[in-house]
Amino acid sequence: MDTLADTTLLSLDALSLARGRADVLDNVTFTLGRGQTVGLIGESGAGKSTIALAIIGLLRAPQVALRGSIRFDGVELTTLPESEYRRLRGNRIGLIFQDATAALNPCFTVGAHLAEPLSRHLGLQARERRQRSIELLESVGIGEAALRLDAFPHELSGGMQQRVMIAMALACDPQLLIADEPTSALDVTIQAQIMELILERVRARAASAIFVLHDLALAAQVCDRVVVLYAGQVVEEAPAAELFADPRHPYTRALRACSIELGERDALVPIPGAVPGLEDLPGGCRFAPRCERASARCAQTPPLVTDGTRRIACWHA
């Protein structure tokens, strides 16, 4: 147990989350080791971002109904008092948002944004804060950092804004960095740079990271492990390379088939149908209505079966 606690930074155990009548997450379980990166994959509405928000504690009771457990560095987060949770956020857990333009307060300068966690968590004084902020900006590849501190978000390009977001998330040297589709709002040419930057910063600090992505190929490139989510459930989990090379769940396969970068052009097959509404989910396997291999058995919920380094939830696997 001790060794496990030492190597595991974060573990989600049977985490379920309901908001009103909508079951947003159902029985989500996975772990993240120290220095590891894990990717959360799935379509919109699969619950990826919800997991991110649940981990950082922005979706808690009484706002939502939360069951199961989230342990971070040996501490149970679901019952953690808000005041202590606040000390984790932005400090030991950093969050990078999908759309930096929206996630930066239009009324505050870059410097003000960066200064916040520095003063709150590290208690730095104005002079130190400024120094540190400049270092941070430089570390994420922003030139003329001192000038940029006084800039407002709208005066920066999208890529720059995302770099600022990253700098903010890294400001306090977090043990865990959660990146929620950090590049999807950016130009393709910049996406790679930003991804590279995040990975580089994470590795440089030997931190762990969770990447929320919808692109399986990208996940395969940047993550150690990948968790595939569908309609709030984990359907498959595996080391990234294995999963990409040999997806076993029909949904994972379908996702891979959608992937443009690595798949051949004519192999691009869209998934029929749409993600079911969270308020009236089908019984049994939730993917069954869209699954080409669906059969009578699928009316029953498939268990998440562990198979070596992988886990999968499908009767047909």
Q: For binding to other proteins (CB under 8 A), which residues are involved? A: 19, 53, 56, 58-59, 63, 86-91, 95, 97-99, 102-109, 116-117, 120-121, 152, 154-155, 165, 168
69 with 117: CB under 8 angstroms?
Answer: no
Residue 135 Cβ vs other proteins, minimum distance, rounded to whole Å: 18
91 vs 139 by CB, closer to other proteins:
91
What are the CA-CA distances from residue 216 to residues 51, 231, 243, 253, 307 (Å)?
18, 17, 9, 10, 21
Residue 40 Cβ vs other proteins, minimum distance, rounded to whole Å: 17
Residue 261 Cβ vs other proteins, minimum distance, rounded to whole Å: 27
168 vs 216 by CB, closer to other proteins:
168
Burial of 136: CB neighbours in 10 Å, binned 0-12, 13-18, 19+: buried
168 vs 285 by CB, closer to other proteins:
168
108 vs 131 by CB, closer to other proteins:
108
What are the CA-CA distances from residue 180 to residues 98, 185, 256, 291, 306 (Å)?
5, 11, 20, 27, 27
Residue 45 Cβ vs other proteins, minimum distance, rounded to whole Å: 11
140 vs 238 by CB, closer to other proteins:
140
Residue 83 Cβ vs other proteins, minimum distance, rounded to whole Å: 8
Centre a 10 Å sphere on the Cβ of residue 9 and count the other Cβ atoms it contains: 22
Distance in angstroms (rounded) separating the CA atoms of residues 32 and 310: 14
